[in-house]
Amino acid sequence: MSVARARVQPPPLRFELEGGALALFEPANSVPLVSIVVSLRSGSAVEPADKAGLARLAVRMLRRGCQGMTSEQIDFRIDALGAEMAVDTSPSTVAIHAQVIARNVDAFVDLLALMLATPTFPHQELERLKRETVAEIVESRDNDRSVAQKALQRTLFEGHPYGRNAGGTTEGVEAIGGDDVQAFYRRFVVQGNAVIGIAGDVTVERAPELARRIALALPRGERTLDTVPEPTSRPGRHLLLADKPERTQTQILVATLGTSAHDEDHVPLAVANAVFGGTFTSRLMREVRSKRGWSYGASARTLVDRRRQAWVMWTFPAAEDAAPCMKLTLDLMEAWVNDGVTAREVAFIARYLVRSHAFDVDTAAKRLHQALDVELLGLPEDYYTAWIDHVRAVTAKSASEAVRTRIHPENMLAVVVGTAAQVLDPLRGAIANLADASVVPFDVE
Amino acid sequence: MASSRDPSGGRRAWAAQTGGLTYGGAHPFGPETVHRWQLENGLTVLTLLDPSAPIASYHTWYKVGSRHEKPGKTGLAHLFEHLMFNETESLRAGTFDRKLEENGAESNAATWVDWTYYYESLPADRVKLAVKLEAERMARLVLREPQVASEKEVVANERRYRVDDDIEGAANELLYKAAFVTHPYGWPTIGWMEDIQGFTPEDCVAFYRTYYAPNNATVVVSGDLRERDLLVSIRDAYASIPAQSIPPEDIVPEPAQLDTRDLVVRKPTVTEKLLLAFKGPALGDADHATMTVLSEVLFGGRASRLYRALVVERELATDVRGWVSTFRDPGLFECVGTAREAHTTQALQAVMDEAFAVVRAEVVGEDELVRAKARLELGALQQLETIPGKAEQIGFYETVLGDPAHAFRRVESFRRVSTGDLRRVARRYLTEGGRTIVRVVPEGAPTAEAAQ
């Protein structure tokens, strides 16, 4: 196995900035664009439990008014500079992601710094943003996959901060006041809690200066330590059906607790998962789609965060195929856990993972995001840089053991979005040793 | 050594010496260059050298899409795209994908009204695998009943996912069906469900023999290439595939729409959605870039006129967006709004109509024009950020317009647009008489008549 002509990619440049902020820079000049990320080491997990959506709302408020500029003027200025800006929230981080045409990067950094340094948090704008956010949450219920993912998250991690919806709930957003937003800003949107990323068409001489201007715009403040506890698994097999009328199809997610990036068997599990459901020729895809045509897609993923996250399997068969598809995928899962993976499968998938690594690092923005993940999620320092070596070291034995250790089919949650009258009873019959089945309306939060 | 005044960089002379290849010229592509080549069987090859990452992207664009289908056989181009990943004379079912994965490739395909394309992005030193596999399935695909039957089920499930259980997908399908009464743009590329379920292997074989030929395809390769070595491989792999006689298109142009078509569809949702469409210019029409700028003024981003009016100021909508279809023949200017709970499509439409009347009557501000152009330039650059992204842009514009560098010409066209141009296209296209409206309303909601 080899990656001929593979280039050794140096890690992004790191700059320690005043006040404890960290900056990462990844240069590239193939296209005149600059990506800028202002990320915080805190996300939805630090929100008060009754104010789900606060982290996202507080950071979105930064573009709703600053010294000398209204929300409308800020929006217009961002566009006129050939820039775009969005907020992304997860349990462990909330980040502003921006991209700008390279010739305007200075003017954009001036604007960004002004927004970070002098937000005015106008009451009228906060109320408007809350109404906008609630409307977006209501609208997202039209998307069955989104309904399934939210139901899975809140049920699998019930009572744990990872069970909160990072996008917020209608009740949580409505409960947020101006004081909450300002308190979040003062506590978390501060130098010591910030990791600033720049990638693209900026010289190595200018990048630190741009990062410093952004960092200095933030209030002084300390890094927030993560006190989120490890999630625990709920014993037994459970079915949650989100009942939605007139579905011709079902969205099926089957999940257990998965892996932590610090587990010794983390990479072996990732390799075993790729065999099971990570590619187009994986076991799941072959059995569900290629042989039976039951679902357009079939995949399995191991999610990564600071604490142990979920392992999730996804299919979306027609309503009449939901029960047989559920039974088949659970059988496949159990065979995967009980019998493991073969040496031939591991050799094949290792070739895929090693050779396709070129596409994990083919743009400056991707390389920057890997480095940001390491910082923000506390991943092992060599998580990405030594990925290829770690994959090559996996054997069929270590991969099979990792699956047996981490994946527990007897403690699993199945979430289905579908029409209960049509699919509930067949699904009950398809899941052996089911502890309980519950039905909720699809718009439950 | 090539003369510095030779834009081909010695390629013309090399092609003449090598045989079986003709050099067709250089197309400036921003700071880079696309080189055009042709094989004796009519296959066009476009190359772009980009050493920014050790990868290559191999795209094969066929000039066949749902516009080439017939009523009763809709969805055939798309079903066929799925079947192209199956068995060939020398590769058992599943081997095609396994070989690609084993070599670290990403691959996929897409079908739309005017085209179908396939791509493989690979580590640069593996690109010849894509040459071999694409040549193999262009000429030696095997189409048998079990694979066709299974793939019909997959496509039926894709349709359920994208259309039947997706409110916007279903509404969009209805919009095009109502707007086009004679042109094939009126049927969905994924096909009507009964047509999908009725296909036979014979339908697929006939389609393959008609359209999958070297003289109906363009290969685009971008990335860290050893260009001459690659071109010799392409020549050797494809040279034996004969050209076909591609049947002339049999399309009846869509007659001018003089009436307003207003449809209501009921769905299990709590919010109403408005899809309002005017007939728009073809992608190759000089008005297309101007209409795209106008769409950006009205719908593009939080500072656009209709986002501000509907989402920010009046709080009637959750989101709005506009799009001028990028089709070879005249398509639609789609205007979409999602109402907030308790607000109606009629309320959204009233605000949109007011905005349309203003751009017909008055010129927009210079600052709004600058804003719209900056956003469009950003969007154009974003599409060229990656090596596969460049190949896609080259293949798309070559297939639809015959100009592989049109992405850059389009940005130049945006720059030339004036406020007067915007008012002219508003008057030409935003006509109240000939448009199509689809209203999605919650099930159980009173009809508009009952509400009055």
SS (H, E, C) B230-280: HHHHHHHHHCCCCCCCCCCCCCCCCCCCCCCEEEEEEECCCCCEEEEEEEC
Nearest to B340 among A135, A289, A295 (CB): A135
Say how many domains are in chain B.
2
Do A313 and A426 sit in the same domain of this protein? yes
Q: What is the pLDDT of residue B433?
A: 84
A97 found inside a domain: yes
A107 residue type, one letter: A
| Number of inter-chain CB pairs under 8 A, A vs B | 182
A4 found inside a domain: no
Do B215 and B322 sit in the same domain of this protein? no
Do A279 and A353 sit in the same domain of this protein? yes
Do B180 and B79 sit in the same domain of this protein? yes
DSSP 3-state assignment of B440? strand
Do B289 and B340 sit in the same domain of this protein? yes
Q: What's the sign of the alpha-carbon dihedral B161, B166, B171, B172?
A: negative
A5-9, B131-135, B263-267: least confidently modelled range: A5-9
- Angle between helix A71-80 and A105-117 (nearest 10): 160
Average pLDDT, chain B: 95
Query: Residue B124 and residue A295: Cβ atoms within 8 Å?
Result: no
- Distance (Å, rounded) from C-alpha A123 to C-alpha A153? 32
For B300, which residue in chain A has the nearest alpha carbon?
A: A79
B301 found inside a domain: yes
Q: What is the pLDDT of residue B4?
A: 53
Which chain B residues are within 8 Å of A6, Cβ to Cβ? 54, 123
Query: Residue B302 and residue A75: Cβ atoms within 8 Å?
Result: yes
Residues A404-430 have pLDDT tens digits of 999 999 999 999 999 999 999 999 999
Residues B70-114 have pLDDT tens digits of 999 999 999 999 999 999 999 999 999 999 999 999 999 999 999
CB of B194 closer than 8 Å to CB of B132: no
A148, A183, A217 - which closes a domain: A217
Q: What is the pLDDT of residue A254?
A: 98
For A29, which residue in chain B has the nearest alpha carbon?
A: B52
Best of A142, A294, A360 to substitute, by most chain B Cβ atoms within 10 angstroms, is: A142
Q: What is the pLDDT of residue A258?
A: 95
A230 found inside a domain: no
What is the pLDDT averaged over residues B10-35? 95
In terms of Cα–Cα distance, which of A131, A177, A172 is closest to A154?
A172
B30 found inside a domain: yes
Do B232 and B285 sit in the same domain of this protein? no
- Distance (Å, rounded) from C-alpha A172 to C-alpha A86? 21
Structure tokens at A53: 């959506």
CA distances from A297 to A286, A288, A292, B215, B334 (A): 10, 8, 12, 33, 29
When pLDDT is cut at 50, 70 and 90, the band that residue B344 belongs to is very high
Which chain B residues are within 8 Å of A351, Cβ to Cβ? 102-104
Best of A70, A97, A127, A296 to substitute, by most chain B Cβ atoms within 10 angstroms, is: A296
Say how many domains are in chain A.
2
Query: Residue B102 and residue A352: Cβ atoms within 8 Å?
Result: yes
What is the pLDDT averaged over residues B351-374? 98
Which chain A residues are within 8 Å of B156, Cβ to Cβ? 293, 318
B256 found inside a domain: no
Do B274 and B233 sit in the same domain of this protein? no
Which chain A residues are within 8 Å of B52, Cβ to Cβ? 28, 30, 362
A232 found inside a domain: no
Do A425 and A389 sit in the same domain of this protein? yes
Q: What is the pLDDT of residue A367?
A: 95
Q: What is the pLDDT of residue A10?
A: 76
A217, A250, A273 - which closes a domain: A217
Do A257 and A209 sit in the same domain of this protein? no
Q: What is the pLDDT of residue A11?
A: 80
Do B106 and B184 sit in the same domain of this protein? yes
Do B18 and B92 sit in the same domain of this protein? yes
Q: What is the pLDDT of residue B6?
A: 74
The CATH number of residue B210's host domain is 3.30.830.10
The CATH number of residue A186's host domain is 3.30.830.10
B193, B223, B238 - which closes a domain: B238
A229 found inside a domain: no
B323 found inside a domain: yes
When pLDDT is cut at 50, 70 and 90, the band that residue B3 belongs to is very low
- Distance (Å, rounded) from C-alpha A136 to C-alpha B411? 33
B245 found inside a domain: no
- Residues spanned by the domain of B411: 261-451
Do A241 and A211 sit in the same domain of this protein? no
Query: Residue A355 and residue B52: Cβ atoms within 8 Å?
Result: no
**Order of strands, sheet of A22-27, starting from the edge strand that comes earlier in the sequence:** A13-16, A22-27, A194-200, A33-40, A94-101, A83-89
Do B158 and B291 sit in the same domain of this protein? no
A285-289, B143-147, B347-351: least confidently modelled range: B143-147
Query: Residue A351 and residue B103: Cβ atoms within 8 Å?
Result: yes
Do A208 and A281 sit in the same domain of this protein? no
Which chain A residues are within 8 Å of B55, Cβ to Cβ? 358-359, 362
B244 found inside a domain: no
DSSP 3-state assignment of B55? strand
Distance from CA of A302 to the nearest CA of B (A): 20
- Distance (Å, rounded) from C-alpha A328 to C-alpha A89? 35
A159, A185, A217 - which closes a domain: A217
Nearest to A318 among B53, B160, B374 (CB): B160
Do B197 and B137 sit in the same domain of this protein? yes
For B338, which residue in chain A has the nearest alpha carbon?
A: A139
CB of A215 closer than 8 Å to CB of A116: no
Do A168 and A317 sit in the same domain of this protein? no
- Distance (Å, rounded) from C-alpha B349 to C-alpha B437? 10
Number of H helices, E strands in chain B: 17, 12
B253 found inside a domain: no
Do A322 and A436 sit in the same domain of this protein? yes
- Residues spanned by the domain of A341: 237-441
Do A78 and A45 sit in the same domain of this protein? yes
Buried residues in A204-233 as b, exposed as e (16+ CB within 10 A): eeebbebbbbbbbbbeebebeebebeebee
């992608």: which residue's tokens? B283
Q: What is the pLDDT of residue A2?
A: 35
A8-22, A119-133, B133-147, B378-392: least confidently modelled range: A8-22
Q: What is the pLDDT of residue A6?
A: 42
A274-278, A403-407, B5-9, B396-400: least confidently modelled range: B5-9
E-only strand ranges, A102-236: 194-200
Q: What is the DSSP letter of B365?
A: P
- Distance (Å, rounded) from C-alpha B228 to C-alpha B230? 5
Residues facing B123 on adjacent strands: B55
Do A205 and A262 sit in the same domain of this protein? no
Q: What is the pLDDT of residue A30?
A: 87
Do A251 and A213 sit in the same domain of this protein? no
Residue ranges for chain A with pLDDT beneath 50: 1-7
Distance from CA of B258 to the nearest CA of A (A): 34
Name the strand (E) or helix (H) holding B393.
Answer: helix B387-401
Do B406 and B328 sit in the same domain of this protein? yes
**How long a stretch of residues is chain B?**
452
Do B287 and B172 sit in the same domain of this protein? no
B2 found inside a domain: no
Do A411 and A289 sit in the same domain of this protein? yes
Do B415 and B366 sit in the same domain of this protein? yes
Query: Residue A5 and residue B101: Cβ atoms within 8 Å?
Result: no
For A322, which residue in chain B has the nearest alpha carbon?
A: B157
